[in-house]
Amino acid sequence: MRTHRIAAIGGDGIGPEVIDAGVEVLRACAERDGGFELAVEQFDWGSEYYRQHGVMMPEGGADRLRAFDAIFFGAVGAPDIPDHLTLWGLRLAICQPLDQYANVRPTRILPGITSPLRNVSGPELDWVIVRENSEGEYAGVGGRVHRGLPEEVATDVSMFTRVGVLRIMRYAFRLAQSRPRKLLTVVTKSNAQRHAMVMWDEIAAEVAAEFPDVSWDKMLVDAMTMRMTLRPQTLDTIVATNLHADILSDLAAALAGSLGIAPTGNLNPERNSPSMFEPIHGSAFDITGKGIANPVGAFWTASMMLDHLGERDAAERLMRAVERVTADPKLHTPDLGGTATTRQVTDAVCEALRGAND
Ligand code: IPM
Ligand code: MG
């Protein structure tokens, strides 16, 4: 029997609710599969931990996570704590030392979900966004001096390294190559940002030469928003900087029907350290504790995690179960216009898994 050690960090807001639902569904997956088991350890890190201890996680927290095969993460962010503290104190404090440099965000319109785009259904929108996850605009380089004075200055410097750009481009080209259409769009802004973005374009062209079977093109980020909206079927794999992909992935999630269903993986592709999987939706404190959070984002995330752990059959079986459930509008949570609860959707997915004969 294969054992996968999972660190579960529910975090803030609806995070713990959807991670609990996700762990339940993962257990049903393991039971149905019979070939593996999960050893899940829960961590209570996040904003409540911060209120008690003044830090989002204990010192050496990221190092403790190295002992696990994967991290299942809920959300971070609370109304009473500045967002930059919660983010840098937990999510980035894990992603950066564990070198999870590739943030992968698949986007599809699941059965039963309606895109806000007229005439766009499943086949026209099937993308994977690859977000550079270790540097760029999120490098943390910058500073603030003369606080409060008229001469106050603040800078956020976006920092790109050749190593960082090379590895994300290689990852993106390889991923594009593994998908049927072998099509990659490199997002840039090298018309206005004339240093780092020009290097980004040059490295993309260098790496492209290593992948002659991948067709690729380049899009300025502003024009990319129009192409995603007006010609979604012309896109497949997309690679962009940390900030550009952050923005484009919210657009992608909205075009696919709901932020409540979108998953993400923060990957260390070389597997030198564990990767971290999280739904994109965030803490959503307006609906925390109401039992109506959409757990589908956490389930899709769980499927990505199983795939990364080498459990491809179980990952695919879970996605089929999720799709059977999303196809039924009676099982839609309020973010999708329905009245279903987290509990009902979770039970339905577990039931679909138990009944799965494939
Ligand atoms: C995301 C989120 C985060 C980000 C927020 C919570 C800081 O928007 O994962 O896309 O910008 O990275
Ligand atoms: Mg975002």
- Write down the pLDDT at residue 153: 98
- Write down the pLDDT at residue 230: 96
- Please tell me the pTM assigned to this model: 0.94
Q: Which atom of ligand 1 is nearest to the CA of 138?
A: 12
- Write down the pLDDT at residue 260: 86
User: Ligand 1 atom 12: the closest Cα is on which residue?
Assistant: 246
Does one domain contain both 243 and 270? no
Q: Which range marks the domain in which residue 215 is found?
A: 115-139+156-256
Q: Residue 338 belongs to a domain with what CATH number?
A: 3.40.718.10
User: Ligand 1 atom 11: the closest Cα is on which residue?
Assistant: 246
**Ligand 1 pocket, residue 137 CB under 6 Å:** no
Does one domain contain both 202 and 233? yes
Does one domain contain both 230 and 300? no
Residue ranges in the chain whose pLDDT is less than 70: none
Write out the H or E segment, with its range, that includes residue 215.
strand 215-220
**Residue 126 falls in which region: left (phi positive, over 0), alpha (psi -120 to 50) or beta:** beta
Does one domain contain both 126 and 251? yes
Question: What is the largest distance, in Å, between two alpha-carbon atoms of the chain?
Answer: 69
Q: Which of 91, 103, 301 to mutate to test the pocket of ligand 1 (most atoms within 8 A of CB)?
A: 91
Does one domain contain both 278 and 241? no
- Write down the pLDDT at residue 356: 74
**Ligand 1 pocket, residue 208 CB under 6 Å:** no
Across the beta sheet with 70-75, what order do the strands follow?
Answer: 36-43, 2-11, 70-75, 275-279, 263-267, 102-108, 126-132, 237-240, 183-188, 215-220
**Ligand 1 pocket, residue 282 CB under 6 Å:** yes
Count up the domains in the chain and report the number: 2
- Write down the pLDDT at residue 346: 98
DSSP 98-125: TT--EEEEEEE--TT---SSTT--GGG-
Q: How far is the CA of 242 from the centre of ligand 2 (A)?
A: 10
